[in-house]
Amino acid sequence: MALVSWIKLSDREKLAILQRFDQFRHWHSLDEKRYCLVCGEIITGREIQVLMDTRGNRSLRIICPTKYCDAIPIEWVWPTDDVLIAIAMVEAERNWLCLIKRAGRAMHAYQRNTTSSTISRIRPKPPFG
């Protein structure tokens, strides 16, 4: 038996829940965006999941809509220019490191191939017949 279930709400109900449960940043509309510090995605109020505990108290909670991410409001920040620049810089650094790793692997493979072909050229060919 599931301990929590997703609940479907009208826009008005969902906005009221976001306003009540997000004590860190006020929501004016469901179209507002937040950046999730856990999964790195930009999410909207419309996407945020509302869960209900199906055990005795039937309490509500809100979590990030990204698959496998259960971040809560304290982990969501406004996607300001500063935040978006920081995200872009981290992503650029991650891409740069991936390129360096790929170049290193390619150089290693190249050296391995040139070394093995050099060795095979040095060996004398066996006599015929």
Cβ atoms 11, 50 nearer than 8 A: no
Give residue-wise pLDDT tens across range 50-100: 998 877 677 899 999 999 999 999 999 998 888 888 888 888 998 898 889
- 35 and 86 in contact (C-beta within 8 Å)? no
pLDDT surpasses 90 at 33:
yes
Judge contact between 7 and 52, C-beta under 8 A. yes
Closest CA to 49 of 63, 38, 39: 63
User: Which CB contacts under 8 angstroms, 24+ apart, belong to 20-27?
Assistant: 21/60, 21/61, 21/62, 21/73, 22/62, 22/73, 22/76, 23/73, 24/73, 24/74, 24/76, 25/73, 25/76, 25/77, 25/78
- Entry pTM: 0.65
Residue bearing tokens 């005795």: 56
pLDDT at residue 1 tops 50: no
pLDDT grade for 107, boundaries at 50, 70 and 90: confident
CB 21 within 8 A of CB 61: yes
Contact by Cβ (8 Å): 44, 30: yes
* pLDDT, tens digit, 9 for 90 and up, residues 2-23: 567 788 899 999 999 999 999 9
